[in-house]
Structure 1
Amino acid sequence: MITDIEAAQRIAAQALAHYGADQAAALTFVKYRENYVFKAEGETGSYALRLHRNGYRTDAEILEELDLLAALAAGGVSVPRLRLTAQGEPFCRIPDEHGDVHQVDMLEWVADAVPLGDVGEAFTGEAVVVPATFHALGVLIAELHQKASTLQRKTPSARASWDVAGLVGGAEAVWGDPRRAFRAGAAGHEIVNRAMAWLETELTAYGKAPDRYGPIHADVTPENVLVRGNQMTLIDFDDSGEGYYLFDLATAAFFYLPHPRFDEVVSAMLLGYNSVRSLTSEDLALWRPMLLARGLTYLAWAADRVGDETSDFIFEHVRPLVVDLATELISPAVSQ
């Protein structure tokens, strides 16, 4: 088990040899959430080295993610390109001093790029909204879905699915039951409980036709969209799996919900998406419900990380927003 950044960096340094790189190559810590990410700089270029949290993903899950990335890149979608090991493998396995084995992969570093934004600033309304930027984001998401819809899977997916069960399946959901976020008598439990049952009916009726369901990114937050001039690149496919295409759009818009220019964000993004791939009336009818489904997943995620700074933000700010969304959608349904 990795206990600190220094231990993670020692494992990352060992992994460099598997890529034909000098173990003395510069390694700079970038971030830690579910995985440790380092920037590796050497004679052959710069790369994002990702050290997976031990036991978080199976080899099959990682391979599926990297296969998707490779297929998207080959299809012209703007995503990082995978660097294979010296043996031609998509990732390597490195044991630590305790005998635990860690999976490590490397992707090309997206140079001279900055994140589209920050979820906190999007939520507070401080983020600068340029409609042309969100139009471009809609185009990028549509290009991803266009290519993903052509991929043929020979075996069942090894990764969790963002479908009815994955979103509102209670304890069986990808990140667990969002109702756990209402411990200690937090307001909204009952309306969220009813909203989940309602969403289950709506999503089941929506179905999994190939024009609306397939491989998705599942985490298109502003931090995971890198911008360099007029070029956008989508990074961090760690949550990718099969799901509703609309879920990616809802994720991209979710943290802008309180922003005074939210409607402009959505309008520009959907216009961009429609320029590549048409949304149907059934898709658009599910737009607000899919925003609610996305919000519920964040509550479930936070419920497992009480005391974490991001979880505190979700409990304080996202939870009441989700309750408001649930109330908006359920009240008309109940009155009919």
Structure 2
Amino acid sequence: MIADLDAAERVAARALPHYDADKGAVLTFVKYRENYVFRVDQPGRTHALRLHRSGYRTDAELVEELELVAELGKAGVAVPQVCLTAAGASFCRVADDDGDVHQVDMLEWVSGAVPLGDVGEAFSGEVPVDPATFHSLGTLVADLHTKVASLKRGKPSVRAAWDADGLVGDAPVWGDPRRAFHDGAPGHDAVDQATSLLEAELTAYGKAPDRYGPIHADFTPENVLVHNGHMTVIDFDDSGDGYYLFDLATAAFFYLPHPRFDDIVSALLAGYQSVRPLTQEDLALWRPLLLARGLTYLAWAADRLGDETSDFVLQHVRPLIVDLATEFVALTVPPHSPSALSLPEAPPCPSTRI
């Protein structure tokens, strides 16, 4: 575990020789979430350096992620180019001051680009949106799915899957969302019932190749960079096998409270379907997958109590997820069954059109 930003910067600096960086290369801290990200400026070139949290990913998982990004780039998807080390590896291993070894990789910096948005601003509903932007985003997601479906795999994925088990099964990728009600907040029973019902629905939906395969799994507005109307998708750290629709649900989730949410979703799905068709069975799973996405954020927040983002999720996002869970149970359970009687009538939701 790296103690602080200064220690992380020292590790990042030790990684630079592995990439034949100039001695005068300048490191600038960009952000920290699961990984430390630095900008590396050298004459005539700029890169993003990622210092991975120790033990978060196995070497095999990281190699799979970077190979996926490289293959998508070769296929024409707008992703950053992966930079190889001087030894030809996709990442290097560097020790910190305590001798703990960390994985470090480097990717092309997308010059001049800015994020599509910010999760907090999207959730506030105050940021103006242009549906045309989300139409373009939908086409980008569809292009990624089309290209990734054509890639030849030599072996099964070693990364966690965003399937029924990985989302709401006995051992979800990010843990049990019911742990997010440690403080006695209302909604535990709704989430508990919805989780069981959702697992059955996703299992029934299945994993046919037209609906399930390698996905990005973190299409938040921060991970889509825009420059002169051109979009590039970054940060495949959460990538793995999953439902293609899950990427679309992720792209829309934090806009749920936005007054133009219906327009955002209509444009997003229309853009996607201009490249890849969606069936009625797919569309019927739209709101359940919005719920599934929300449940993963609850579980993520439960492991990071006191963190600023976790506090935001628990204070502002959790009530919305409870509403989605209540709605889902009310629409799934017959009205006179014992399960239905244990929940109140479903409250109005931000959108019920799709």
The reply to whether TM is greater than 0.5 is: yes
Q: Residue in 1 aligned with 2:26?
A: 26
Kept in 1: contact 2:163–2:242 (CA 8 A): yes
Q: Residue in 2 aligned with 1:71?
A: 71
Q: Residue in 2 aligned with 1:129?
A: 129
Alignment of 1:3-18 (within 5 A): 3-18=3-18
Instruction: Give the alignment's TM-score, normalised by structure 1.
Output: 0.98
Q: Distance in 2 between matches of 1:121 and 1:308?
A: 18
- Following TM superposition, by how much is the alpha carbon of 1:44 offset from its aligned partner in structure 2, in angstroms? 4.8
Between the two proteins, what is the percent identity of the paired residues? 70
Q: Deviations over 1:80-126 (max 9, x none)?
A: 11011111111111112321111110000000011101111111111
SS in structure 1 at match of 2:312 = helix
AA aligned opposite 1:289: P
Q: Distance in 1 between matches of 2:73 and 2:181?
A: 41
Alignment of 1:245-324 (within 5 A): 245-324=244-323
SS in structure 1 at match of 2:150 = coil
AA aligned opposite 2:233: L
Q: Distance in 2 between matches of 1:191 and 1:203?
A: 18
AA aligned opposite 2:267: A
Q: Residue in 2 aligned with 1:225?
A: 224
Q: Residue in 1 aligned with 2:236?
A: 237
Kept in 2: contact 1:13–1:24 (CA 8 A): no
Alignment of 1:82-121 (within 5 A): 82-121=82-121
Q: Residue in 2 aligned with 1:41?
A: 41
Alignment of 1:55-204 (within 5 A): 55-170=55-170, 172-204=171-203
Q: Deviations over 1:15-38 (max 9, x none)?
A: 110111124301000000110000
- Following TM superposition, by how much is the alpha carbon of 1:158 offset from its aligned partner in structure 2, in angstroms? 1.2
Question: Mind listing any 5+ residue stretches in structure 1 that lack a counterpart?
Answer: none
The count of aligned residue pairs is: 335
Q: Distance in 2 between matches of 1:99 and 1:24?
A: 26
Q: Distance in 2 between matches of 1:328 and 1:15?
A: 50
AA aligned opposite 1:151: L
- Following TM superposition, by how much is the alpha carbon of 1:168 offset from its aligned partner in structure 2, in angstroms? 0.2
Q: Distance in 2 between matches of 1:311 and 1:73?
A: 33
- Following TM superposition, by how much is the alpha carbon of 1:300 offset from its aligned partner in structure 2, in angstroms? 0.1
Instruction: Give the alignment's TM-score, normalised by structure 2.
Output: 0.93
The alpha-carbon distance between structure 1 residues 44 and 20, as it changes in their structure 2 partners (threshold 3 A), is: farther
Q: Deviations over 1:262-291 (max 9, x none)?
A: 000000011100011111111000000000
Q: Distance in 2 between matches of 1:247 and 1:77?
A: 19
The alpha-carbon distance between structure 1 residues 34 and 59, as it changes in their structure 2 partners (threshold 3 A), is: same
Q: Distance in 2 between matches of 1:216 and 1:332?
A: 28
SS in structure 1 at match of 2:276 = coil
Q: Deviations over 1:223-279 (max 9, x none)?
A: 111000110000111000000000000000000001000000000011100011111
Q: Deviations over 1:105-164 (max 9, x none)?
A: 000000001110111111111121101100000000001100111123222211111000
Q: Deviations over 1:270-315 (max 9, x none)?
A: 1100011111111000000000000000000000001111111111
Q: Deviations over 1:35-85 (max 9, x none)?
A: 000000113510000000111111000000001000110000001110111
Q: Distance in 2 between matches of 1:211 and 1:44?
A: 42
RMSD over aligned Cα, in angstroms? 0.9
Q: Distance in 1 between matches of 2:183 and 2:9?
A: 39
SS in structure 1 at match of 2:226 = strand
Q: Distance in 2 between matches of 1:183 and 1:303?
A: 8
Q: Distance in 2 between matches of 1:332 and 1:134?
A: 28
AA aligned opposite 2:228: G
Q: Distance in 1 between matches of 2:44 and 2:2?
A: 28
